[in-house]
Each structure stands twice: as C-alpha cells, then as structure tokens.
Structure 1
Amino acid sequence: MDHTEHRKSPADLKRLIVATVISNGFVAYDFTVYGFSAAMIGRLFFPAHDAASSLLLSLATFGAGFVMRPLGAMLIGRYADRRGRDAGMRLSIALMAAGTWLIACLPTPAMIGASATVMIVLARLMQGLAAGGEIGPASALLMESVPYERRCFMVSWRGASQGAAACVAALVGACTSALLSHDQLVQWGWRVPFVIGGLIAPLGWWLRRVPGDASPSKPRPARTPLRMVLREHARPLACGMLMMAAPSSSIYIAVLYMPNYLTHTLHRPPAISFLIASLSGLVILVVTPLVALAADRLMSRKTLQYASLVGALVTAFPAFHALTRGAPDTLALVIVLLYVAIALNNAGAGSVLMLEAFPKHRRAASLSVVYTFGAVVFGGFSPLAVAWLIDATGNAMTPAWYLVAANGLALLALSRFPERPLNARRACA
C-alpha cells in the first residue's frame, strides 16, 4: 500500500469534509426536498378526484427518481473509478442541478397541459441518475484520504450530510408554509425550496475542485465488464443491498415521509411535522460522526451495526403505537427523534464495511450499486407503499410493520456479510 495518499494536512482534511458535506448534501437536498413538497406538487401536477389520489401519484413520481439511481450508480460510479472521485461527483452535481432547475421553472399543467406532468417525471429521473452516482465516489474519496483507524469517522460525514440536507429541506418547507399564504404557496411558493437548491449548485461544484482527489493512480485499470464484477463479488453485493433495507426505509419513512404521515394520517399541525423532520436531520448530522468515532475503536465494523439494528427493531412498533394513540406533540417529537438516533447512526461503519470488501478500483461503482439498488427496492417506494396501504386498510400502524420487516432483513444480511480479517483490512489500498 502506498501510504502517501493518506498524508493530508489537517487543513486539507477539513476542506475535504466541508466540500463533501456541502456537495453531497446539495445532491441529497435536491433529491429529497420533493418529498416534503409532495402534497402540493400532487395537487398541481397530478390533479385527481381526491387529495389522496394526487398525493399517491406525486409519491409515485418521487419513487420514479429511484428507478434511475442504479443506472447512475453504474455509469457515474465506474466513471469515478477510472477518471477520479472528484470528476464523478462534479458530474453528479451538474445533473442534479439541471433536474432541480427544471422543476423550479416548470409551468403547471394548467398552463401548458399534460406535457408539464411528463416533464416533472423526466426531471425526477434526471435527479435520480445524479443521486445514484454520488454515494460511491463521495464515500471512497473520504475513506481513501485517511489511515485505517479514522476511516469510519471520515466516511460518516457523507451520511451526516444527508441529515444536514433533510434538516435544511424541512426548515425551508416549514418557513415557506409559515410565511406564505395558501394562495402564494400554490402560485409560486412551492418553487422556493427548489430554487434554493439550484442556487447551491455552483458552490458545490467549486468546492469539489478544491481538495486533492484520492483517485486511483495511473495507469488506470482496464475496464471491467459488469458481469465480472457481479460474479466475483456476488455475496457482498447481495448482502449489502439487503443491508440497505434498514437505513433506506428508516430515512424515507421516519424522516422524509413523516411530515405527510403526521399531517394527512394523524392530523397533526404542519408546524410540528416539519419541526420533527428538521430535528431528525439534525440528529443524524450530530450522532452519525459520534458513533463513527466509537466504531473506529472496535475490532469489527459490525459491532455497532448489530446494536443499531436490534435497537431499531425493538423500538419501531412502540414508537408508532404511541404516535397513533395521540401522544402529545412534545412526546411525539421525542419518540421520532429517539428512533432516528437509534436507526440512522451507522453510515460510517456500514459504508466502510462495504468499501473494504471490494478492491480499490471497483469501490466507487460497487458501493454505488449496493446503495442505490437497496434504496430503490426498500426505500424509494416505501412512502408510496405505506401511503397506499394506509389508504387501503385504514391501519395507521403500517409504517411500523414496514420498518420492523426492513430492520429484521438487514440484521440477517449483516450476519452473512463477509467481513475481511483485520490485517487484510489494514493493508487494503
């Protein structure tokens, strides 16, 4: 191993963390802010005979963005493995910005007809392509910038940035809802969160050019056929995708879908709903690096992941039981934040465990594929599935059952994931 790639100054590492948090957070913000605006977008772009049908159609479009994420993972991830982590991340930022500005500027069907509905779906597909290629390059870049004993902490900032994105998106949603009248929201206010996201893009692009790129050294490895990657790394890829069931379901149900669930299903005030979502993102931002610091001190990358999954499995049902039985708003806030802190704290150790299972020249693409396929199957359509089941059955406990199943599946997959011996992990380049 060439240890020189790890010898970055403290200033370089700080810039790298800031750049990754802002650029990855920008991609996460633009992709997820749609979820907070789903109800308004549903009424404007998917007019139907009732509000529930419009919301379901809007959530289906939210999920449609995930259809493109596996393609983005393969294309942008492999591009980053060959051309450099920063190059892949800048491409992702550019695609995300284009999709976000399209939504921000798109006329409604009342102005231009059904083509508006088609175009908003296309914009979501573009955002999905960008989001699919961001995770692998960002995580690989962070991990390859530090020695073994700091990997979990460094990579955790990628997961923390998603918490920051959720926090900012919810705050923007809360502010626009509080400061604007209903008519203003319908006419132009719903576009504000997307305009803000589009304006962040140049900053994210510039920051991604600042730190040094811990990219594969030249000469570049020969192009590897996808079928060979799937054949040689079948077990970590399959187990990794199943492991994504827990974090994907938890963040898309307990954070991003939560405002819609609390307001439309449990009839809570919009203010408390957005406050819960915003503070949930803040909890992820703070707790994730702290848990990663502890993970770096343990012999196995799996130890704290086992604890997190078991904790989430045990608390999901009681948490939603209290919410559906009319817990006061303050108690509801504590319940959701406690579940989020337990279920969404292991982005550092989880990502590093997966990255260390693959050779360096396949890391970015492999993690992107694992993350995005897992997110598509278990996360992206979970708000739609849960909303549909609630509408069909009238059972407000549906999210709890979904989360219990997802955490149980991830726990089983984690036990089967092939963790490399400690010496091999320390020596991997």
Structure 2
Amino acid sequence: MVAGAIGNMLEWYDFAAYGYFSAVIGRNFFPSDNHTTSLLSAFAVFAAAFFMRPFGGVVFGHIGDRFGRKAALVLSAGLMTVSTFAIGCLPTYETAGLLAPVLLVALRLGQGLSVGGEYTSSAAFLAETAAPERRGLVGSLACVGASAGIMAGSILGVILTSLLTPEEVGAWGWRIPFLLGIVLGAVISVLRRQMDEGGRPGDAPEPDDRSPLRAAVDLHARDMVRAFVMNLGLAAAFYVVFVYLVTYLHREDGLPDSTAFLLNTIAMAVLTAAIPLMGALSDRIGRRTLLALSTGGLALFSWPLFALIATERPGLILAAQVVFAVLIAGYSAVLPTALVEMFEQRSRCTAVAISYNASMALVGGTAPMAATWIVHRLAWPTGPGLYIGGLALVSLAAILTMRDASGRPLA
C-alpha cells in the first residue's frame, strides 16, 4: 500500500513546487514589465502540463490494463523524477533567451504525461487490493500521498522563504525544490520495483481482443462522461485553494511569503489528516452520500469562505482554509474509489484515467489562471469562490445519478 500510494507524493510535490514558486518562475522565464502578465504566463505553462494528463491517461492506462498496474506505476514515477530534476537545472531567459521557456514547457509536458498515469493507476491498484468493506479507506491512501506531497512542497516553501531573501529565492532558491525531487524519486523507485502486482483472488479480467481504450469507450462511455463531470468541482477547488491561494495571499492580502506558506501548510496538514477518516466514513455511509455532502458544502460555502480570505486577517484566512480543507477532504478522499468502482477491470485504468484527467485538464490546470484573471482583470477578489461553487453544483448533479457500489465486490 505504501508503494502504491507514495508515488503520488512525488507527483504532487513536483506540481505544487511549480505552483508555489510560479511568480518567481514567471519573472525568470517570462520576463515582463507587467507582473500579472508574467504570472499568467507561468500559470499557462502550469495549465499546459494538465492538458497532457489525458494523453498520459491513455498511455499509462493502456500499460496498466495490458501489462499490470506495477509497470505503469514504475514508469510514471521514473518519468516524473527525471522531468522534475531537469527543471531545477534549466537556464533562465536571461541566460538562454527563448530556449529557456521552450525547455520549461517541454519538461512540464513530461510531468503532465506522468501524472496522467500515476494517480489513477495507484487508485486502481489500491482499490483492487482492498477488502470490499475497507475499500474507501485503502483507496483514500492515493489521495493521502498526493496531499502529503503538496504539504511537503508547502513546508519547503516556508523554509526557503524564511531562510532566504526574496532576491536569493528569485536567483537560485526556487531551484532547490525541483532538485530535491530526485531523492524522493529514488526511494519510490526502490519501493515499487519490489511491490507485488496486487489484485484479489478471482479478479482476472475476461479475455478481450479490444484495446483497453476501445473497451472503455464501448463498455463505459456514459459512465466516463459522468465521471468527468463528477470531478469538475474538485478540480477547481483543489487547485484554487491549495496552489493559487499562496500567490493570492501574498499579492492581494499583502501577507509575507513565509506567512502565506505557513497558513497553507496548516490547511494541508488538516486535509492530509482528514482524508483517511473520510475514506473510512465512506465505507460506513456510502460514497454517494459523502460526495453529495462535500460538493453541496462547496457549492454553498465557497463564496462566503473566499470573502473571509479577502479580509486580510490571518486568523479568518486560516479558519476559511481549514473549512475548505475538510470539505475537499470529503470530496477527494472518496472520488477515486468511487470512480474505480464504476468500471470493469479489463479497461478500468484507462476509463478512470481518461475521465478523471480530462476534467483535471479542462478545469484543474486552468484554475490558477482563471482565478488570477477573475481577481485582476475583473477586479473581483471574491470571484474565485463563486467559480468553485458553480462547478461544485454541476458535479453534485452528476454525483446524485451515480450507482453506489460501496462494500460490494468490484465488477
């Protein structure tokens, strides 16, 4: 279970490092007299990596369905490790000119391809190895790994912005999180090469001459659309609250970088602790019930919570982030397992990966850029709250139509 879940820590640590240091990266790779333009350019590259995730889902989903979950997990972690370390070694625009942003985009696309296979493959692996009555708890470990990775990136942000001056962070300090990714990648590689393939007795899929992609479309097209819509609210909430908000707190609320990182780290700690509790709760009350409560809460409270964040008062900001963390924990802990339960094993990795990553590409990757545009171009500091709430309401409609397979054997 550790080997299956820990890869997400690497993947999301790397993605978080880019999001947290996006303002610095924007100045180094997309210099402009307008800081908002540089920031939007950096977030556009963040979004570009997400648009590779559906392709990663097809590639690694095919590997996972045809050659086993272990093969997909080992390859995805290796690609992410190489891409992340290389970003830390890149020359800046001042040194290499246009070549610098081109190389940055290429490596970010490699990261996006990797993430497209990692998260959903690990969710399928964990759910398939779990007893039906504990599938929610075990499946939530994929999300624990992801949130722990983002928290690790945030903790490193606290340390760097506390020990280094803004000039030192801008000159070379931003490279440190990317270079350290190779250590985590090496540990994951060792763990995964020794892991069992997983699965439970009698779980072998029926013979099928179709490719996993063709089988997924033929068997589960409607459920793939439903899964896509179910994830929209989570995609917006997660990447606005836990990636964009650090930049928002510094630029809009005027908080020091170290304070913004500290508040975010506390919220991430609450999220990480709440996820397994929510996964276990879904085994008791059902996936659909908990998903409906979480998305309904986001639909109702996202705008009021953003109004608290806009007050510029650290105590109120932290309270709002903690409430967001609890609601997002109930959503993110349960959704991967619920999606795994929707599809048959022969095409499960592919179906989950495409539907999940397509919504993440459309909304998750563009969420920080959309929030920046709402706040700066529309001059609407609380607008991102309505953006989250509206998409959560759309997801709630899809969740209410899903079949709840909690506690039942996988198809």
Give TM class, smaller chain: over 0.9
Q: Provide the C-alpha distance between the structure 2 equivalents of 1:218 and 1:412, rounded to a whole number of angstroms.
A: 32
Does the 8 A contact of 2:61 with 2:349 survive in 1?
A: yes
Residue 153 (structure 1) aligns with? 137
Q: Residues 3-402 of structure 1: matches in 2 within 5 Å?
A: 16=1, 18-214=2-198, 217=204, 221-224=208-211, 226-298=213-285, 300-326=286-312, 328-402=313-387
Which residues of structure 2 form unaligned runs of 5+? none
Residue-by-residue CA offset, 1:68-110 (whole Å, 9 max, x unaligned):
1000001101101111111101110111112111211001111
C-alpha displacement of 1:364: 1.3
Does the 8 A contact of 1:31 with 1:131 survive in 2?
A: no
Of the structure 1 ranges 195-204 and 264-273, higher mean CA displacement relative to structure 2 is found in 264-273
C-alpha displacement of 1:198: 2.2
| Structure 2 counterpart of 1:63, one-letter code | A
Q: Provide the C-alpha distance between the structure 2 equivalents of 1:426 and 1:401, rounded to a whole number of angstroms.
A: 37
Q: Provide the C-alpha distance between the structure 2 equivalents of 1:230 and 1:294, rounded to a whole number of angstroms.
A: 32
Aligned partner of residue 143 in structure 2, secondary structure: helix
Are 2:389 and 1:407 equivalent residues in the alignment? no
Residue-by-residue CA offset, 1:237-256 (whole Å, 9 max, x unaligned):
11111111111111100111
CA RMSD of aligned residues (A): 1.7
| Structure 2 counterpart of 1:292, one-letter code | G
Does the 8 A contact of 1:248 with 1:379 survive in 2?
A: yes
Q: Provide the C-alpha distance between the structure 2 equivalents of 1:124 and 1:264, rounded to a whole number of angstroms.
A: 25
Q: Provide the C-alpha distance between the structure 2 equivalents of 1:218 and 1:227, rounded to a whole number of angstroms.
A: 15
Does the 8 A contact of 1:41 with 1:58 survive in 2?
A: yes
Identity of counterpart residues, as a percentage? Answer: 29
Q: TM-score, normalised by structure 1?
A: 0.91
Which residues of structure 1 form unaligned runs of 5+? 1-15
Aligned partner of residue 408 in structure 2, secondary structure: helix
Aligned partner of residue 284 in structure 2, secondary structure: coil
C-alpha displacement of 1:337: 1.2
Residue-by-residue CA offset, 1:209-255 (whole Å, 9 max, x unaligned):
23311157489743426344224212211111111111111110011
Q: Provide the C-alpha distance between the structure 1 equivalents of 2:113 and 2:337, rounded to a whole number of angstroms.
A: 23
C-alpha displacement of 1:397: 1.1
Does the 8 A contact of 2:307 with 2:382 survive in 1?
A: yes
Aligned partner of residue 393 in structure 1, secondary structure: coil
Residue 10 (structure 1) aligns with? none
The 1:93–1:371 alpha-carbon spacing in structure 2 relative to 1, beyond 3 Å, is same
The alignment covers a number of residue pairs equal to 408
Does the 8 A contact of 2:271 with 2:328 survive in 1?
A: no
Does the 8 A contact of 1:236 with 1:418 survive in 2?
A: no
Residue 7 (structure 1) aligns with? none
